[in-house]
Structure 1
Amino acid sequence: MGESENQRNPNHHHVIIIPPPFQGHINPSIQLALKLASKGFTITFVNTHSTHDQITKSRPKISDDIFGPARDSGRDIRYITISDGFPLSFDRSLNREQFMEGRMHVYPAHVDELVGQLAGSDPRPDCLVSDTISTWGYGIAAKYGLVYVSFWTQPALVFSMYSHTHLLKINGHYGSIDNRKDTIDYIPGVEAIEPKDLSSFLHETDTSKAIHRVIPKAFAEAKKADFIIFNAMEELEPEPISTLKKTLPVYPVGPLFPHHFANPSIQMNLWSESDCSKWLETKPSGSVLYASFGSYAHSSKRDIETIAKGLMLSGVYFIWVLRPDVVSSEVKDVLPDGFQENVGDRGIVVNWCKQNSVLSNCGVGGFLTHCGWNSILESLWAGKPMVCFPLLGDQTSNRKLVVDDWRVGINLCEEGRLVSCDDVAERVKFLMSGESSFELRKNVELIRKKMENALSENGSSEVNFDKFVEDMKVRIEDTKVRRNYDRQLI
């Protein structure tokens, strides 16, 4: 009989990390990989061929060895790409429902094949980390005898709501032809919440779409995980997190930021970046509004035009990130005629930029955001208050945290609809005025200090991360012993 795994490599642990192909999930997954590698783990980071193709097109000079700089600093991170079941030419932005179905029913076979191959390699993987919204993580980990870690990249509030959709259905707040509109006060760990503040997916009365099968399946898998790590922190969401920890192995370890916040060493941007630094240098401190609606959600052409007119009327300086597919990959001209000529040098519109760098610039005084979770955390870390324009998914719940709970932002919508262009202008001017937004800025600074404390050596998130690492090592070793024992019985 050959040597057991423990005899061959008593201290070696190999973790596979597989994020979904969305920027808001890829970015924290990169930071998780780097953080685990700094603790001595071997990491295999997996993207889809399509994601990698987008990354390389956005930065033509980038090496295929994306984690090369990390290995140069002594961290063992390997990089692999696999098929998502669709050809590269398939328009994933335009055909989202078909793509979601493929991620549920086709993509898992490609993941299974890869994990099976890695299971026969050296070092053999010990742990699989997949995003909580994936529907296959636990099953594949169990098949190959791996520890399973579910990685949640949104607020604890949203995890609480998604993990209790059965209660929402029983009470008629979700999944009905006519969902109830009264206050929801029965979700464990969540204070009374209005239906409008649920994830946008839970507002829908048509539950035949793929997402309504993804959510229950994904959270059933998450509840079987050995560990659930949150890109969130206890100080910002104490009640949801403490309640979840009573029944689930939850470790809040966020926010997961790059070591050099404004200039990360490892980047996987899906869009070509514009350098806004020289333009920003010419603008007074705190005078520029940064606007971005993220990498995935779509807006309507009408709303884009309303915001554009509001920015023209506001008179403020701005940088506006508008992806080419922000309305649709089939709709290219989304701004009003003569927009750039009207604003002149007062504003620039780009497809993408280094968001952390822009937010960190002293010229930027506020953020018009779609309320993606990464964007919120980055804005708070950079000390910028927000004006909120949520579009999809968790963003409606995130808005509640920003505006109602933490009081670090204001609304750009009323009753679920964007305000008029005149009101856009007034709210932008309110945010950008140091006097009117004084309370917002003071609250942002208080939260920034909480984040700093959580990420300090003895802070809650660092302590939780160290405990997660130690607990995972123990679970890995226990799993190896069981695997060796089972092998001996065969």
Structure 2
Amino acid sequence: MAKTHVMVLPMPCQGHVTPLMELSHRLVDHGFEVTFVNTEVDHALVLGALQASPGGAAALGGGIHLASIPDGLADDEDRKDLNKLIDAYSRHMPGYLERLVADMDAAGRPKVKWLVGDVNMGWSFEVAKRLGIRVACFWPASMACLAIMLKIPELMEEGLIDDKGLPRRQETFQLAPGMPPLHTSQLSWNNAGAPEGQHIIFDLVTRNNALMGLAEMAVCNSFHDAEAGAFELFPDVLPVGPLFADPEFAKPVGHFLPEDARSLQWLDAQGERSVVYVAFGSLTIFDARQFEELALGLELTGRPFLWVVRPDFTTGGLSKAWLAEFQQRVAGRGMIVSWCSQQQVLAHRAVACFVSHCGWNSTMEGTRNGVPFLCWPYFCDQYLSRSYITDVWRTGLAVCPNNADGIVTKEELSGKVEEVIGDGEIKERVRLFKDAAQRCIGEGGSSHENFTKFMSLLKE
């Protein structure tokens, strides 16, 4: 019998590609044929990173066909500018997606029966419907974040925000018991880039809220016990997480940068629960002064640390001589890499705490592996994840920038690292949430049952 052909479409950002790639591996394991559609730029990054990783190119076989379409931006345009990226892909990608489906048909590939699309790519649901393709949607962030977006009309009615999504009142609100409190200045759509382009993101959110109605099922990378309050508000969105591709971490999950395998060898040589792991995802950018303060804070802890520093992590102004001298001082105790297999790092016995931007993938990965957090959010929905970690789950603490210039000082960082690692109550809560996550994804658990429902629908 022919395999059901599923097309998977993420928003073109690392934090969206990874969970949808993990979901795609699970679909392949359950007998589906999967075509994974990246933008041309992201497609090239994924292939480049795979070819640079030992055995990476061979590992890709796994039944996922990689395809690509243009995002509508010129080669030299900044794709980290979310306003610009969203504006371009919303206008240009529908036509390209339609052409890709026609080309696949012409090449004799099995007809695409389902689109599993990122909620942030709601325009693709209309394209799919037009082509007679059924739609299921995937939400890659917290259910709380989606709930706040879906409640925009009520937030307007209550006078919390205006019709452009901007706060009318400066206050902290909570949608429901058990949900994370959030200040109106930290709404995800107002914290994702240059203020003058925020209307683009707010328009996208409100449009996607309506387009979700075209999907026959909505699933998300979360688990019931982590967000019971949010799932009570929206019981039709089914949690199937925390997602991971395979227990051996052998399947590639679409990284844009090559993984540095030395990080795992280095961790093997460290003591149990001794290492501070520091990673800020794929989009965070620090200025030179904050970068230096972070580096000095890690040195000040006196603990071994593994720090992920992307090539574009800091803006100009950082002295190469200063960095070389720093690296010399911490050699042997501190390991700096440009990218790593984060799931493997967080599963390692040597990791004591995770200094994180609180992207949702990182939040789920840390939670699933029982690692306490020191939260340092950068933008978007990361403030909400921080609120879960510090206020609701109580599985970590947050850094506090000083009032004078918004810098997180070296003393603040090193002091909070010690506090997180030494807090027995945090340790216990972390263990409870790790156990809850394992229960949800295990046989008979809620995420496991929801995934089975999802598979049954796709097989119809």
**1:30-429 → structure 2 map (5 Å cutoff):** 30-61=21-52, 68-71=60-63, 77-93=64-80, 95-119=81-105, 121-174=108-161, 175=164, 179-185=168-174, 187=175, 191=179, 193-195=181-183, 198-202=186-190, 208-245=198-235, 249-261=236-248, 263-274=249-260, 275-328=262-315, 337=323, 338-413=325-400, 417-429=406-418
What is the DSSP-based 3-state SS (H/G/I as helix, E as strand, rest coil) of the residue aligned with 2:307? strand
Show the counterpart of 2:428.
Answer: 442
What is the DSSP-based 3-state SS (H/G/I as helix, E as strand, rest coil) of the residue aligned with 1:413? coil
Question: Larger C-alpha radius of gyration, 1 or 2?
Answer: 1
Q: Distance in 1 between matches of 2:31 and 2:369?
A: 30
TM-superposed CA distance for 1:348, in Å, is 1.9
Q: Distance in 2 between matches of 1:357 and 1:473?
A: 32
CA deviation vs aligned residue, 1:333-368 (integer Å, no higher than 9, x gap): 589553223323221221111212222222211110
Q: Is the 8 A contact 2:354 2:374 kept in 1?
A: yes
Of the structure 1 ranges 348-357 and 56-65, higher mean CA displacement relative to structure 2 is found in 56-65
Show the counterpart of 1:466.
Answer: 452
Q: Is the 8 A contact 2:173 2:181 kept in 1?
A: yes
Q: Is the 8 A contact 2:278 2:305 kept in 1?
A: yes
Q: Percent identity?
A: 27
What is the DSSP-based 3-state SS (H/G/I as helix, E as strand, rest coil) of the residue aligned with 2:62? helix
Q: Distance in 1 between matches of 2:233 and 2:119?
A: 18
Q: Relative to 1, partners in 2 of residues 1:13 and 1:448: Cα closer, same or farther, differing over 3 Å?
A: same
Q: Distance in 1 between matches of 2:197 and 2:77?
A: 25
Of the structure 1 ranges 376-385 and 335-344, higher mean CA displacement relative to structure 2 is found in 335-344
TM-superposed CA distance for 1:118, in Å, is 3.5
The size of the alignment, in residue pairs, is 450
CA deviation vs aligned residue, 1:385-431 (integer Å, no higher than 9, x gap): 01000111111100111111111111113599554321111111222
TM-superposed CA distance for 1:277, in Å, is 2.6
Q: Relative to 1, partners in 2 of residues 1:308 and 1:169: Cα closer, same or farther, differing over 3 Å?
A: farther
What is the DSSP-based 3-state SS (H/G/I as helix, E as strand, rest coil) of the residue aligned with 1:235? helix
Show the counterpart of 1:483.
Answer: none
Letter in 1 for 2:209: F
TM-superposed CA distance for 1:294, in Å, is 0.3
| Structure 1: gaps (5+ residues) | 1-8, 72-76, 475-490
Q: Relative to 1, partners in 2 of residues 1:191 and 1:305: Cα closer, same or farther, differing over 3 Å?
A: same
Choose which of 17, 20, 24 in structure 2 pairs with 1:29: 20
Of the structure 1 ranges 359-368 and 270-279, higher mean CA displacement relative to structure 2 is found in 270-279
Of the structure 1 ranges 350-359 and 192-201, higher mean CA displacement relative to structure 2 is found in 192-201
Letter in 2 for 1:179: R
Letter in 2 for 1:234: H
What is the DSSP-based 3-state SS (H/G/I as helix, E as strand, rest coil) of the residue aligned with 2:371? coil
| Structure 2: gaps (5+ residues) | none
Choose which of 411, 435, 440 in structure 2 pairs with 1:454: 440
CA deviation vs aligned residue, 1:21-64 (integer Å, no higher than 9, x gap): 22211111112112122222221111222112112333435699
Letter in 1 for 2:269: T
CA deviation vs aligned residue, 1:425-474 (integer Å, no higher than 9, x gap): 11112223xxx222111111111111111111111111111112223434
TM-score (norm. length: structure 1): 0.84
Q: Is the 8 A contact 1:19 1:29 kept in 2?
A: yes
Aligned-residue CA RMSD (Å): 2.7
Q: Relative to 1, partners in 2 of residues 1:326 and 1:140: Cα closer, same or farther, differing over 3 Å?
A: same
Q: Is the 8 A contact 1:388 1:409 kept in 2?
A: yes
